[in-house]
């Protein structure tokens, strides 16, 4: 799947990423006054479905990235990384790579974090992106 310049907020179906080595790549940029943005992998095609992975860079809270899941409308326990690989006003490339039991998140070619699955990755059906971000390219590659 290859999408150019999606309108943000974005919510769209993605092909299966259940096999190890599947990868979601985003090329984007943030505005200079960016506060937060998010990338969600949804277990269904609606914004109310469970979230298997929530990636939430926050420039407005001491520059950190929050990772979480949401099940039956309830957020799970946050994994907080107190370092910020994104810069306000700059372009970035992000990759979410599926391994046997984790999502590996790379930013600008460097591994940033790995998030252990909390729900089966074969349920992931859609990608949602919102907040203070512009996306130029979305690529989803099945392994």
Q: Are 19 and 98 in contact (CB under 8 A)?
A: yes
Residue nearest to ligand GAL (CB): 68
Q: How far is the CB of 48 from ligand GAL (least distance, A)?
A: 14
Place of tokens 């937060």: 36
Task: Give the nearer residue to ligand GAL in terms of CB position, either 22 or 26.
Answer: 26
Task: Give the nearer residue to ligand GAL in terms of CB position, either 22 or 129.
Answer: 129
Task: Give the nearer residue to ligand GAL in terms of CB position, either 23 or 63.
Answer: 63
Tell me which H or E stretch contains 139. strand 134-141
- Spatial separation of the C-alpha atoms in residues 64 and 80, rounded to whole Å: 7
Q: How far is the CB of 54 from ligand GAL (least distance, A)?
A: 6
Residues numbered 9-68 forming contacts with ligand GAL, rule: CB under 6 A: 54, 56, 66, 68
Segments of 31-133 assigned E as strands: 37-42, 51-58, 64-71, 74-75, 79-81, 91-98, 102-107, 110-116, 126-131
Number of residues that bind ligand GAL (CB under 6 A): 6
Task: Give the nearer residue to ligand GAL in terms of CB position, either 22 or 128.
Answer: 128
Residues numbered 72-111 forming contacts with ligand GAL, rule: CB under 6 A: 75, 78
Task: Give the nearer residue to ligand GAL in terms of CB position, either 39 or 124.
Answer: 39
Tell me which H or E stretch contains 27. strand 23-29
Q: Are 132 and 34 in contact (CB under 8 A)?
A: yes
**Interface ranges with ligand GAL (CB under 6 A):** 54, 56, 66, 68, 75, 78
């Amino acid at each position: 799947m290859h999408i150019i310049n999606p309108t943000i907020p974005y919510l769209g179906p993605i092909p299966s990423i259940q096999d190890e080595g599947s990868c979601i790549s985003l090329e984007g940029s943030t505005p200079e006054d960016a506060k937060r943005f998010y990338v969600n992998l949804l277990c269904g095609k609606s914004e109310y479905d469970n979230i298997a992975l929530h990636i939430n860079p926050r420039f407005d809270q001491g520059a950190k990235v929050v990772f979480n899941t949401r099940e039956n409308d309830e957020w799970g326990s946050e994994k907080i990384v107190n370092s910020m690989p994104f810069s306000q006003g700059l372009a970035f490339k992000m990759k979410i790579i599926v391994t046997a039991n984790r999502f590996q998140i790379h930013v600008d070619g460097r591994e940033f974090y790995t998030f252990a699955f909390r729900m089966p990755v074969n349920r992931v059906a859609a990608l949602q992106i919102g907040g203070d971000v512009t996306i130029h390219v979305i690529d989803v590659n099945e392994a």
